Structure 1
């Protein structure tokens, strides 16, 4: 089942109920169908079992490429998989893998971004059509936060949380595999960018790439994020570039409680950002004057709003208040 893109202003149909979760599950099952079509499962029957055992759509590539890469990695590492899969068993296993993939995607989003509710994470994943890094890109654009870094402690922790949420028996091992996959994402994406069905030779080449040692995390991050914009749905690419809300693109708030949760999460993000401005301003003020003189002014009138940038406004307002309303007990 192929995923359906949503045009500007068009909500995604909720056939069968379930909202974002139901739509994402159907979309993810479609990814598995396309991944199976791309792999030479007739020539290598073990690939089909590898998809059903370890082919999560969670990872740094597009969802179908993630399934292909994770399945080949699962097979290359010598994991036990049955080569013969019954049709009924395959349908059930696909549903199980889709649930695990969805839990991994949501687990990463809610662990990586502070104050991001599960429902809001699903909104972004649905807008990005199940593409993890595309969803990360949209959240960063919406929140005006710093760029994604695959080598950061936050990312590594989120990977472990996502691996655990997927139900994988060894979350640490899966998280390590995701980091390894990220380090070769550019090469793998180039190989998988060819249309059509992969050959056994392509599978062997991918297996070699997946098992070789990784590259520098910083270079890897730049390559990863360079791959993301082309993967975004066209109607969302411009919205992300201009930090526009997602509501006009079909990601809508369904009720007042959802709106309250989303608003509260953004308020918490903003408070954290302002808190960072104050820490930076306090670090820039002379410490002996801050302890003996400016501490009162910071508390009374060190506002971050004004004609300059937030940090400069805090410093300017603090010094102004001290000059105009200086406490007679403050030391010089």
Structure 2
């Protein structure tokens, strides 16, 4: 019974993660910057210090080389080519459909151990982060929180804090803490990211420009981010600023918590959780 419940939760979370990837694919100009595809499939995990869609986009574009934030000449030429709107739409749709097929596990059958999809690797990273940061948190409970949080890492962290009464200042989650850095590093390694150090530095850039980046992504999700948008955002990720309270990830994450999720969080904790605040 417990195993079946855990498997159902995994499947449910993966379905949610697939939705996040579809939204990110719709926003990225894949037809204009084809190099985004391998970056996304290799490193575009949905966990990080922003919402899942922004994390996918940030983790994908952080690895793009740039020259003072200017678009690559070849990309600029592609953008200037005269194409009909219909042709562009068909081309973009084909690219997105092909990439999505590489993200979603066929027939809900887990990928071979050596070839997990980026969605499956994202789920693994989410679980490892939570069970590393909250040392006595069992995997089944991590899955429960992730399910309630919509596979949003910081929302899951906040739900755990509320459920376990981690209300003291010293117990509250902080992106700069040693425990957070260790958990994020473990999550990156478990997800098989190609360059974990680069991923960690990208998170620093994301936190310091969080409002600017999330607002840009949110404003452009109804249409594709432009080539210029991608290079500007990529440049921001590579230039971390001093931490600004207005860019507090947990404060922004709190706004994403569905009221129903708070109501559904059980007040009963496992014996393991009761033994330690973390």
- TM-score scaled by structure 1? 0.63
| Residues 179-237 of structure 1: per-residue CA shift (max 9 Å, x gap) | 33222222211222214122222212211211213323xx359621221122112312x
The counterpart of 2:250, out of the listed 225, 230, 234, is: 225
1:181 aligns with 2:206: yes
Structure-1 separation of matches of 2:120 and 2:207: 23
1:168 deviates by 1.8
Q: Distance in 1 between matches of 2:274 and 2:27?
A: 44
Query: CA RMSD, aligned part only?
Result: 2.9
1:266 to 270, 273, 278: 273
Pair 1:98-2:125 in alignment = no
Residue 88 of structure 1: how far off its partner (Å): 6.0
The answer as to whether partners of 2:44 and 2:55 remain within 8 angstroms in 1 is yes
What residue in structure 2 maps to residue 278 of structure 1? Answer: none
**Larger RCO, structure (CA 8 Å, separation 6 or more):** 2
Shift of 1:153: 0.6
Match of 2:85 in 1: none
| Equivalence for 2:10 | 21
Aligned residues: 232
Structure 1 residue runs without a partner (length 5+)? 1-13, 79-83, 249-258, 273-332
Instruction: Return the alpha-carbon distance in structure 2 between the equivalents of residues 144 and 222 of structure 1.
Output: 24
Does residue 242 of structure 2 align to residue 246 of structure 1?
Answer: no
1:76 and 1:62 map into 2 onto residues whose CA distance is 24
What are the within-5 Å matches in structure 2 for residues 1-332 of structure 1? 18-76=7-65, 91-95=101-105, 96-145=117-166, 146-194=171-219, 195-197=221-223, 198-216=225-243, 219=244, 223-236=248-261, 239=262, 246-247=265-266, 262-269=269-276
Q: 1:141 to 1:264 in 2, by over 3 A?
A: same
Compared with structure 1, are the counterparts of its residues 221 and 25 closer, same or farther at alpha carbon in structure 2 (3 Å cutoff)?
A: farther
- Whole-Å Cα distance in 1 between the matches of residues 245 and 193 of structure 2? 25
Pick the structure with greater CA Rg: 1
Q: Secondary structure of the equivalent of 2:63?
A: helix
**TM-score between the two structures when normalised by the length of structure 2:** 0.74
* Change beyond 3 A, Cα 1:144–1:232: same
Specify every segment of 5 or more residues in structure 2 that has no aligned partner in the other structure, as ranges.
Answer: 68-93, 106-116
